[in-house]
Structure 1
Amino acid sequence: MDAVVFDLDGVLVDSERTWDEVRRAFAAEHGGVWPPEATVAMQGMSTPEWGDYLVREVGVRLSAEEAARGVIAEMARRYEQGPPVLPGAVEAVRAVAERWPVAIASSSPPVLIQAFLEATDLGGLVRVAVSSEQAGAGKPAPDVYLLAARGLGVEPGRCAAVEDSTNGLKSARAAGMAVYAIPNPDFPPAPEALEGAVVLGGIGELAGALGRG
């Protein structure tokens, strides 16, 4: 293994519930009706994709671009006091970065990725931080992981990916990376998405598991 690529939402920040709350409230405010499958479906989508989903599937009465801008503006407002960093996340990234080059491959927009890096002072350790907005397709497509590996100058098959969600796990696997899963207790991944992954009980176990791998 030559590098480690982290997902952001649900792995390093406890933001999956926040995304869900913000999108649900925004949809209700703009005429949408929330389908039961919407929460899981949008996990991992790029910004253009979930903006379109809010309009097409949820019924938000705006353009996809307007919906995305509105949701991201509220997320950025909530991040103003600092993103909800998960316990042990910063320490885990620092421990991993002592041995391997580190990247972030996230479906969050660049403004929220940057907010995380600034709040945690990890910008100097995370060599590459890319959003699925920049990759062209969101998870479960492999594009954002492939972009991160390319930025690191490492073959995808020589990378480990750290993920929590169904779409994220599928994305990392499709990119050909070794997959380390930290299942999100609020939105647990589908059992089939965990097949072939090293399943951890928490991010504090990651550095040791990678060393054994």
Structure 2
Amino acid sequence: MVFDLDGVIIDTEEVWEEVRRGYVAERGRRFLPDSQGRMMGMSTPEWSTHLSADLGVPRTPREVAADVLDRMAARYREDLPLIPGSVEAVRRIAGHFPVALASSSARILIDQVLETAGLTDTFRVTLSTEEVPRGKPAPDVYLAAVERLGLTPEVCAAVEDSSNGLRSAAAAGLAVIAVPHGVYPPAEDALALASLVIDGLDELTVEAVGKLR
């Protein structure tokens, strides 16, 4: 089983939007109508390039990434927005299946979240899209996670919330479990890729996972 992080274990999409919108506005620029949706699932180099090149923030992508990640880390230190039942769900599934994490967050944020949540030793593999050639919706991070688990996509499932995440997992050949975010729901075509749609992580049971394949 491979878990996404943002929107599945921690409810941070609103935090990401607030931080990035504020950062862009401080530099006299404005989000495009589709900026937030486009950046969901993007790797750090990809979204920082969007802010720099597409929105015109007068900083290099590397500088933009450093600025925004510093702000996000500070927010996480103040209050980690764990999704109710997420830690329990991860531990429940990890008791029966090997689990990995495939996230678009930067490595520094992944490590901080898992340490604060007490999940560092639960995952056998953790990967950031920074560490693979392409971010979501490309399948790279899921393919790498499955390979490091020593498994094949055909026997694995992914838990995702965003359009790009669902597309990424499906493109990698995993069975897809969708937990749609209430504020940022996935596109209908992406949601259609899911083998199972659940309303919350309390529905992510060993029995439900076992029936997927």
Which TM-score applies when normalising by structure 1? 0.96
1:68 matched to which residue of 2?
A: 65
Q: Does 1:201 align with 2:199?
A: yes
- Rounded Cα–Cα distance in structure 2 between residues aligned with 1:18 and 1:59: 21
Per the TM alignment, residue 36 of structure 1 is displaced from its structure 2 partner at its CA by: 1.0
Matches within 5 A, 1:102-121: 102-121=99-118
1:142 matched to which residue of 2?
A: 139
Q: Any idea what SS the aligned residue of 1:80 has?
A: helix
Q: Does 1:183 align with 2:158?
A: no
- Rounded Cα–Cα distance in structure 1 between residues aligned with 2:131 and 2:45: 11
Matches within 5 A, 1:117-128: 117-128=114-125
Alpha-carbon RMSD across the aligned residues, in angstroms, is 1.0
Superposed CA offset, 1:133-170 (max 9, x none): 00121100011111111111111221100000000000
Opposite residue 83 of structure 1, the aligned amino acid is L
Kept in 1, the 8 Å contact 2:8–2:179? The answer is yes
Kept in 1, the 8 Å contact 2:3–2:102? The answer is yes
Kept in 1, the 8 Å contact 2:166–2:193? The answer is no
Q: Which runs of 5+ in 2 are unaligned?
A: none
1:212 matched to which residue of 2?
A: 211
The 10-residue stretch of structure 1 (189-198 or 94-103) with the greater mean CA deviation from structure 2: 189-198
- Rounded Cα–Cα distance in structure 1 between residues aligned with 2:200 and 2:38: 24
Q: Does 1:96 align with 2:93?
A: yes
- Rounded Cα–Cα distance in structure 2 between residues aligned with 1:45 and 1:94: 27
- Rounded Cα–Cα distance in structure 2 between residues aligned with 1:106 and 1:83: 16
Opposite residue 210 of structure 2, the aligned amino acid is G
Which TM-score applies when normalising by structure 2? 0.96
Per the TM alignment, residue 82 of structure 1 is displaced from its structure 2 partner at its CA by: 4.4
Per the TM alignment, residue 31 of structure 1 is displaced from its structure 2 partner at its CA by: 2.6
2:169 matched to which residue of 1?
A: 172
Correspondent of 2:148 among 138, 144, 151:
151
1:32 matched to which residue of 2?
A: 29
Q: Any idea what SS the aligned residue of 1:126 has?
A: coil
Correspondent of 1:52 among 49, 54, 58:
49
Percent of residue pairs identical: 50
Opposite residue 74 of structure 1, the aligned amino acid is R
Structure 1 runs (4+) deviating above 3 angstroms are: none
Q: Which runs of 5+ in 1 are unaligned?
A: none
Kept in 2, the 8 Å contact 1:82–1:116? The answer is no
- Rounded Cα–Cα distance in structure 1 between residues aligned with 2:90 and 2:62: 33
Per the TM alignment, residue 30 of structure 1 is displaced from its structure 2 partner at its CA by: 1.7
Per the TM alignment, residue 115 of structure 1 is displaced from its structure 2 partner at its CA by: 1.0
Give the number of equivalent residue pairs.
210
